[in-house]
A and B are shown apart, each in its own frame.
Chain A
Amino acid sequence: MAEPILKVNSVTKCFGGLTAVNDVSFDVQPGEIIGLLGPNGAGKTTLFNVISGFYAPTSGTIIFKGQDISGKPPYTLADRGIGRTFQVVKPFAGLTVLENIIIASFLRYPKRKDAERHAWKILENTGLTDRADVSAASLTLAGRKRLEIGKALALEPTFLLLDEVVAGLNPTEADKTVELILELKKQGMTILVVEHIMRVIMNISDRLVVLNFGEKIAEGTAAEVARNPLVIEAYLGEAAA
């Protein structure tokens, strides 16, 4: 097996007395899509925030491309090749869609002209071209989620973290986003994706990691995970509650 692009080593993240992520470890191989599953509050977004540098882990390390990146700030990690979206989308609301993407493009294209040219390409890939000049605030939820992906892609990342980019979309929009993710995979992008919709996550993931109350309770292919009694309990337990 190749050297993993990302190694999550016994990562724990506490907020005061609450342990949001508890001793979680897993590896991600280059080119893989890993689905991160778990009930609400399981710690998925917190783990994303640790990997992308928004939180330093309370203990444990994150190794990215062979280097320890734990606690490095997000802007350094963006430069190293980690792109992410936010579950609660963060459009630059007062700016146009094009400006949003141009800002993200500056990382790889520091000149305004080059950044703008690159941004148009991203707009096209994410189906936002005809929205270029409207303010990001006026986008629909689907548009905002697309914009999140567009901004992350404008960074030309090698590793992409997608936090519920499909949730809340209608089936047509959802299919388009899934298509986009699969296209990225074809181009060799490594992706860690959080999604609640089973149909989606089972479809696109090579492997799944399941969290519950901050702990990893299962890891494996979709079929393996679906058979895991801990997973069944976590989900049925939640449904019964």
Chain B
Amino acid sequence: MKDKSIHWGLPILLVLIALPAVIQDTFFLRVITEAIMWIGLALAFDVLAGYTGYLNFGHGAFFGVGAYTTAILMMQAHWPFALALPMGGVLAGVGALIAGLPTLRLKGAYFAIATWALSRAVQQLALIMDITGGPDGMRLPSFLNPQFFYYLMLAVVAATFALLWYLLECSPFGLKLKAIREDDQGAMALGLNPTKLKMQAFILSAVPTGVLGGVYAYWITFIDPASTLGDLVSDQALVMVVFGGMGTLIGPVIGALLIFAFKTLFWAYLSDFQLLYLIILGAVIALSVVFIPNGLWGTLRGARSQKKTEEKKDEGPAAKLSPSEGE
């Protein structure tokens, strides 16, 4: 039942740790840093979307909360980055707790709409408040060390991956979330408290997202409501997760890498055709939802087990199954 693909984790991590020694080009390092960030955002999005079955269209708000918390603590309260960053995660978690109480009662499209509306409200708040700098945003002290941000991003995302792997794929928590996703009434009859589990998943999704927002703010040194609190983070994470494969941890990684690579190449060579990018992205999503509803990874992995089951069926029930089962 457990996914063997985890064995690739350590070698890949080692390669990534060694990478900056090989890559001297700061632009390239920057691209990879951002790719790693998107892997983290997609993973966190999938906790709720894939494992729990709730599409959070306000996911980006946690990113913005993390970014602004870190920025405000550093700029207004003069906290060191090392303390401000964790607070970004904490506040995103608190935000999830507050936002989850009303929204997690809703299902399907209603949850998506409610979370989207809440994230719009948060963005408006950042636009009108003084402490956030309003529409002008905030500038952070620049710390020009690409390697530092590469390693920090890598550490945050690797830790997120490890934590999610443990909680969702090894401990009972992941299966419990899936039970909620499949049938929350049925899950309740088995002793599971859906409200509590959904809240835990929501917070688990929000905290890493907030931390990534904080890293992003210090890395890019400038944040404003449009860049950190817009729809971009939610939309992009959704696309990556759906394309890669919901409800798995490998799927979002694959989806994030492919979509981000596509985006980067497109913007590098065809930046005059921004509209085309969105059209292609939209088409990719529509097609993948229709033709590979389980995403790339889900389809690849499913193909093998599917084949097994079909072989069994084709051979007829008598061949391998006990006759008493009688299909």
Q: With a CB–CB cut-off of 8 A, which chain B residues contact A154?
A: 190
A84 to B193, CA, bound (A): 16
* Contact present for A75 and B182 (CB under 8 Å): no
Q: A130-B321, A130-B322 are in contact. Are A93 and B188 (CB under 8 A)?
A: no
Q: Which residue of A lies closest to B327 (CB)?
A: A140
Q: Are B183 and A90 neighbours in the complex by a CB distance under 8 Å? A: yes
Docked pose: A84 CA to B190 CA in angstroms: 9
Contacts of A74 in B (CB 8 A): 188-189
With the chains together, A173 CA to B327 CA distance in Å? 11
Q: Name A184-234 residues within 8 Å CB distance of B.
A: none
B 172-196 binary contact with A (CB < 8 Å = 1; else 0) = 1001101101110111111111000
Instruction: Give bound CA distance, A99 to B326, whole Å.
Output: 22
**Residues of A contacting B247 with CB < 8 Å?**
94
Is the beta-carbon distance between B179 and A103 smaller than 8 angstroms?
A: yes
Closest B residue, CB atoms, query A135 = B309
In the complex, which residues of chain B have a beta carbon less than 8 angstroms from the beta carbon of A92? 178-179, 182-183, 186-187
* B187 CB, min distance to chain A CBs, angstroms: 7
**Judging by beta carbons under 8 Å apart, are B176 and A86 in contact?**
no
Q: In the assembled complex, which residues on chain A have CB atoms less than 8 Å from the CB atom of B17?
A: none
A75 CA to B185 CA, complexed, in Å:
10
Q: How far is the CB of B62 from chain A (nearest CB, A)?
A: 26
B327 to chain A: which residues have CB within 8 Å?
140
* Nearest-neighbor residue (CB-CB) of B185 within chain A: A90
Q: What is the CB-to-nearest-CB distance from B299 to chain A, in angstroms, rounded to a whole number?
A: 14
* Cα A131 to Cα B188 with chains together (Å): 24
Task: Collect the chain B residues with CB atoms within 8 Å of residue A135's CB.
Answer: 309
Tell whether A31 is near chain B: CB-to-CB under 8 Å. Answer: no
Known: A110-B172, A172-B326. A52 touches B190 (CB 8 A): no
Verify if B125 is at the interface (C-beta below 8 Å from A): no
Docked Cα-Cα span, A78 to B324, in Å, equals 31
List the B residue with the shortest CB-CB distance to A139: B327
Q: For the complex, give the distance between the alpha carbons of A170 and B188 in Å.
A: 30
Q: How many residues of A contact B (CB 8 A)?
A: 45
Complex contact B188–A99 (CB within 8 A): no
B-side interface residues, number (CB < 8 Å): 29
Q: How many A-B residue pairs have CB under 8 A?
A: 100
CB under 8 Å from chain B, chain A span 150-194: 151-152, 154-155, 170, 172-173, 176
**Residue of chain A at shortest CB distance from B309:** A134
- Is the CB–CB distance between A95 and B178 below 8 Å? yes
Q: Are A99 and B190 in contact (CB under 8 A)?
A: no
Q: Which residues of the other chain, B, contact A131 by a CB distance below 8 angstroms? A: 325
Within 8 Å by CB of B191, from A54, A79, A176, lies A79
Q: Is A5 an interface residue (CB 8 A)?
A: no
Q: Is the CB of B309 within 8 A of A138?
A: yes
**Cross-chain contact B171 with A112 (CB below 8 angstroms):** yes
A86 partner, pick from B175, B189, B191, beta carbons under 8 A: B189
Q: Is B170 an interface residue (CB 8 A)?
A: yes
Are A94 and B178 in contact (CB-based, < 8 A)? yes
8 Å CB contact of B189 from A52, A94, A138: A52
Contact, CB under 8 Å: B326 / A102: no
Report if A86-B172 is in contact (Cβ < 8 Å); known contacts: A73-B193, A130-B325: no
Q: Assess whether B322 is in contact with A86, with CB atoms less than 8 Å apart.
A: no
What residues of A have a CB within 8 angstroms of the CB of B290 in the complex? none
Contact with B along A58-88 (1 / 0, CB 8 A): 0000000000000001110011000110100
The answer to whether the Cβ of A24 comes within 8 Å of any Cβ in the partner chain is no
Q: For residue B306, which residue of chain A has the nearest CB? A: A135
Which of B181, B189, B324 has the largest number of chain A CB atoms within 10 A? B189
Contacts of A112 in B (CB 8 A): 170-172
**Chain B contacts for A83, CB-based, 8 A:** 189
- B172→A106 contact, CB < 8 A: yes
Query: CB within 8 A of A75: which of B178, B188, B325, B326?
Result: B188
Contact B176 A106 (CB under 8 A): yes
By the criterion CB–CB under 8 Å, are B325 and A151 in contact? no
Shortest C-beta distance, A117 to chain B (Å), equals: 14
What CA separation (Å) do A99 and B190 show in the bound complex?
13
Point out the residues of chain A lying under 8 angstroms from B183, CB to CB.
Answer: 90-93
| The 5 A-B residue pairs with the shortest CB-CB distance in the complex, in nearest-first order | A90-B186, A92-B182, A78-B191, A107-B191, A74-B188
- 13 A-B pairs (CB sep. < 8 Å): A75-B189, A78-B190, A91-B182, A92-B178, A94-B181, A99-B178, A102-B175, A103-B192, A112-B170, A131-B325, A143-B325, A151-B186, A170-B326
